[in-house]
Structure 1
Amino acid sequence: MADVVEVLQRSGGSATYAQLREYVPARDLRIALAEERIKRVAKGVYALPLDVSPLTVARSYGGVLSHESAAEHLGLDVVTTPLKPHVTVGRNQRRRISRLACTLHWGDVAEFDGATTPVRTLLDCARTLPFCEALAIVDSALRKGLVTRDELLDAAFAVRGPGRARGIKLAEAGDPRAASALESVLRARVLEAGCRGFVPQLVIADDDFFARVDLGHPELRIVLEADSFAYHASREALRRDCRRYVNLAMRGWTLLRFSWEDVVLDDGWVAEALAAVRDGRPRRQNPRKRAA
Structure 2
Amino acid sequence: MTNEGALVLKQDRIEWPTIALAILIYGCWLAVTWCHALLPLCLTPVLGGWLIAWHNSLQHETIHRHPTGRRLIDGAIGAVPLSLWLPYSTYFRTHRAHHASRAITDPFEDPESRYLAHTQGGWGHILRAAEFLQSTLLGRLLLGPPITVGRFLVSELARGRKDPATLLRNWLPHLGASALVVAWLHLCGLGIGAYLLLFVYPGISLSLLRSFAEHRPAEAPEHRVAIVETRGPLGLLFLHNNLHAAHHELPGLAWYRLPAFYRQHRMRLLEANGGLLYRSYGELFRRFLFRPHDHLVHPDYGGHDTSPEIA
Tell me the TM-score normalised to structure 1 length.
0.27
Between Structure 1 and Structure 2, the one with more strand by share is 1
Tell me the TM-score normalised to structure 2 length.
0.26
Between Structure 1 and Structure 2, the one with more helix by share is 2
